[in-house]
Homo-oligomer: A and B are copies of this chain.
Amino acid sequence: MALSQAILASLAMAGPCSGYDLVKRFDEYISCYWSASHQQVYKELRELEKKGWISPETIAQTGRPNKIVYSITETGKQQLAIWAVLPSDPTPIREPLMIKLKTGGLAPLEPLLAELQRRHQLHQTNLDRLKHFETEVFPQPENPTPADRLHHLTLRRGIRYETEWVEWCEEAIQCVKELIAQSG
């Protein structure tokens, strides 16, 4: 499964960190291309450690719980590189919202419109966040390294994805408003 590679990639490219901080990375940056809950992350870290692909170091802290900082090992890097050149098919799409649209007509349209407006706002917020990352958090330097440029591509994908959603929501809201006006 690719969760392990997402973790390995983060440890390799953004540096060693604890499970807790890794979960934060997932919430903040990684979620635009890979989602994972904290339960998944902690479980996977234990398995990666068992395999010897990452190595733990317990950091004693005062005033808060100790934490375990993980680094990727040489074996881990090799395994990640092997995986990185394998082909991967497009991820299957599963969008409950589209099913809801399809059923439209069986149920009243007003709640659907409200839902589309809520989604519009959600995706707009996400888009703003990603654009902020692009310009403020990870601005491309004058002479970007290959890693900088590849990382930027993943951010571009997130921005395109959310842009597409925002635009589609606007199209859909317009359409459903017209349908409500016609029927009312």
The interface of chain A, by Cβ under 8 A from chain B, is 2, 5-6, 8-10, 12-13, 31-35, 77, 80-85, 87-109, 111-112, 115, 118-119, 122-123, 126, 145-147, 149-151, 153-154, 156-157, 160-161, 163-165, 167-168, 171-172, 175-176, 179, 182-183
Contact = CB atoms under 8 A, between A and B. Distances in A.
B150 A160 contact: no
B91 A96 contact: yes
Given A101-B151, A102-B154, 14 more contacts: A9-B99, A12-B103, A33-B94, A35-B92, A81-B103, A84-B104, A88-B97, A90-B123, A101-B153, A101-B154, A105-B145, A105-B146, A150-B175, A160-B164
B160 A33 contact: no
Contacts of A89: 122
Q: What does DSSP make chain A's interface, helix, strand, loop or mixed? A: helix
A37 to B, nearest CB: 9
Contact of A104 (B94, B102, B147, B167): B147
B157 A98 contact: yes
Contact of A150 (B102, B122, B161): B102
A106 B84 contact: yes
A151 B34 CA distance: 29
A2 B183 contact: no
Nearest to A149: B175
